[in-house]
Amino acid sequence: MDPSAPSDTLASAPSKPAAADLRVLRIATYNIHGAIGCDGVYMPQRIADVIAELDADIVALQEVPLGGRAAPNALPMLREATDMLAIAGPTLDTPERRYGNAVLTRLPVRATRTLNLSFGKREARGALDVDIASTSGVLRIVATHLGLSARERRAQIASLIAAFDTPALPVILLGDINEWFVWGYPLRALVTHFKAAPAPRTFPSRCPVFSLDRIWMHPVERLIGVQAHRSALARVASDHLPLVAHVRL
């Protein structure tokens, strides 16, 4: 994938022991709903506490407030609280509001790219594409948040699949796919490309009904398992539950 826009990296080195020394990584995705909980309260610290519960080596975040006049930038606080490297991938970037995807990682970052997945006049969407080093080589993490209309998601999935131009790398696609129709084109296309993966229900967080958040990996044999994180705090901190996968290096 050709770089389309540089992403922001809060690049102070993590002080925790490098998780790349482990043979199994914990990789998570979490739609944080702008750090606004199910009680309507904006509380980034609550999101940081849920991330601490996950104890993940890599966390993809969606709906992250990244600054602007409308809301403060939550990413520096999340970086400090988790002691992880933080990479921002804004999809909306105006003086009023800066907002989008992000990746937190304990592992070294080798490269970052963004992919514009915006469709017509609908809300701006994108993917944050990050190469992360491990003892077994480079992992490619593609973190995304797809649109609300079926036509939009069809175009976005086609763009994502076309962008996977480095088959030699293990690729992990994760994020809020916003697809609830099991037999719809987006899920069928992704399963065809990545093979099937477990899909626990994550939305709404208080009583999950839909599997909107997903983690896929190629090669699929390295994906050991996928679970929703259902702690009491996670049920109130956002309207989505986090999803956690174990990946064999």
CA angle, residues 238, 243, 244, in degrees to nearest 5:
135
Output 47 or 187, whichever has higher pLDDT: 47
Quote the pLDDT of residue 1. 43
Judge whether residue 110 has pLDDT over 80.
yes
Across 211-218, average pLDDT: 93
Output 224 or 249, whichever has higher pLDDT: 224
Quote the pLDDT of residue 70. 81
Domain ranges of the chain: 8-248
Q: Tell me the pLDDT band of 96, cut-offs 50, 70 and 90.
A: confident
Across 178-195, average pLDDT: 78
Judge whether residue 53 has pLDDT over 60.
yes
Closest CA to 78 of 243, 231, 237: 237
Quote the pLDDT of residue 63. 97
Output 42 or 17, whichever has higher pLDDT: 42
Quote the pLDDT of residue 17. 41
Q: How many CB atoms lie within 10 A of CB 8?
A: 17
Judge whether residue 186 has pLDDT over 80.
no
Quote the pLDDT of residue 120. 87
The C-alpha atoms of residue 156 and residue 147 are separated, in whole angstroms, by 8
Judge whether residue 4 has pLDDT over 60.
no
Quote the pLDDT of residue 133. 95
Across 219-226, average pLDDT: 91
Judge whether residue 2 has pLDDT over 60.
no
Closest CA to 103 of 55, 174, 38, 52: 174
The C-alpha atoms of residue 116 and residue 2 are separated, in whole angstroms, by 11
**Whether the model pTM is above 0.85:** yes
Quote the pLDDT of residue 165. 60
Distances in whole angstroms, Cα of residue 71 to Cα of each of 41, 94, 97, 123? 13, 12, 7, 18
Judge whether residue 18 has pLDDT over 70.
no
Quote the pLDDT of residue 193. 79
Quote the pLDDT of residue 93. 85
Burial environment of residue 6 by CB neighbours within 10 A (0 to 12, 13 to 18, 19 or more): exposed
What's the chain's average pLDDT? Answer: 88
For the record, the structure tokens of 205 come out as: 């967080």
Across 65-87, average pLDDT: 94
Contacts within 8 Å (CB) and 24+ apart, 67-70? 67/98, 68/94, 68/95, 68/96, 68/97, 68/98, 68/99, 69/95, 69/96, 69/97, 70/96, 70/97
Percent of the chain with pLDDT over 70: 89
Which residues fall within 8 angstroms of residue 234, CB to CB, at 6 or more apart? 50, 53, 205, 241, 242
Quote the pLDDT of residue 13. 42
Query: What number does CATH give the domain 8-248?
Result: 3.60.10.10
Quote the pLDDT of residue 5. 46
- 29 DSSP β-pair partners: 60, 243
